[in-house]
């Protein structure tokens, strides 16, 4: 910008000097030529100064206002849903089973018998053996329950005999055998058991002792 001003001043000075040299001198005798030049120079200087101010104003860069500060707007976007993975298979529940109550069916208890073991009898005598049996279990004995031969002498009795009545828990049944003593003297033994509808055999008490007949047969006096 300073170079342009200098060039403009130089051009104006050149123009003024040239004008003064070419123009005919028609001054009145009372006007001093040096004073005329001074006025001309002052006029040129004033024009140069005005021109320089115009040039300076036009050359002054216009400041660009800073861009407006953008106020951040809170995000309204819905947050992404994070899906919780499910197990591929449901957990296996563990249960502790309570122990089942001990079964007491069938359970029998002989409370009485007519012929004590080792009873002495004469040959050929008619005998009646009875066992009074308590149903000590928790199920009913039906008439499908049976007395079955187990071991020893049969005394000619049937090997299987059905109960003649049903027996509720806490009830009694009298099992009766009638037979004749053998004709030959000696000690005779016979064992019998009871059997339920499932084919399970049971006897007297928790140890399932067989029902027992023992007689001592002798010759009559």
Q: Which two tokens stand for residue 77?
A: 């976007």
For residue 135, which of 103, 173, 162, 191 has the smallest C-alpha distance? Answer: 173
pTM to 2 decimals?
Answer: 0.55
| pLDDT, one tens digit for every residue, the chain (221 residues) | 545 545 554 555 555 445 444 444 444 445 555 555 555 546 545 555 555 454 444 444 455 555 555 555 555 555 454 555 545 554 554 545 455 455 678 999 999 999 999 999 999 999 999 999 999 999 999 999 999 999 999 999 999 999 999 999 999 999 999 999 999 999 999 999 999 999 999 999 999 999 999 999 999 98
pLDDT digits (tens, 9 = 90+) for 167-201: 999 999 999 999 999 999 999 999 999 999 999 99
Backbone angles phi, psi at 115, to 5 degrees: -100, 110
For residue 91, what is the DSSP state?
P
Torsion of CA 31, 32, 35, 39, to 10 degrees: 30
Q: Which helix (H) or strand (E) holds 202?
A: strand 201-202
Give residue 35's pLDDT. Answer: 55
In the chain the domains, ranked by start, together with CATH numbers, are 2-24+32-57 (no CATH), 108-218 (2.60.40.10)
Cite the beta strand spans of the chain per DSSP E. Answer: 108-113, 119-122, 126-135, 146-152, 160-162, 172-180, 186-195, 201-202, 211-218
Residue 2 phi, psi (nearest 5): -60, -35
Alpha carbons 13 and 17: distance in angstroms, whole number: 6
């Amino acid at each position: 910008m300073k170079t342009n001003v200098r060039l403009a001043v130089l051009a104006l000075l050149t123009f003024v000097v040239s004008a003064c040299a070419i123009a005919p001198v028609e001054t009145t005798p009372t006007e001093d030529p040096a004073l005329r030049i001074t006025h001309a120079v002052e006029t040129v200087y004033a024009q140069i100064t005005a021109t320089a101010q115009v040039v300076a104003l036009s050359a002054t860069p216009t400041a660009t206002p800073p861009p407006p500060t953008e106020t951040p707007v809170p995000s309204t976007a819905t947050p992404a849903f994070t899906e919780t993975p499910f197990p591929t298979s449901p957990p296996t529940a563990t249960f502790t089973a309570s122990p089942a109550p001990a079964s007491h069916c069938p359970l029998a208890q002989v409370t009485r018998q007519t012929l004590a073991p080792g009873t002495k009898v004469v040959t050929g005598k008619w005998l009646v053996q009875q066992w009074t049996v308590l149903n000590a279990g928790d199920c009913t004995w039906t008439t499908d329950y049976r007395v079955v031969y187990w071991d020893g002498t049969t005394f000619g009795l049937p090997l299987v005999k059905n109960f003649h009545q049903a027996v509720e828990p806490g009830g009694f049944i009298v099992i009766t055998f009638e037979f004749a003593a053998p004709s030959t003297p000696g000690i005779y033994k016979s064992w019998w058991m009871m059997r339920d509808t499932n084919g399970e055999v049971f006897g007297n008490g928790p140890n399932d002792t067989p029902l027992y007949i023992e007689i001592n047969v002798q010759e009559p006096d």
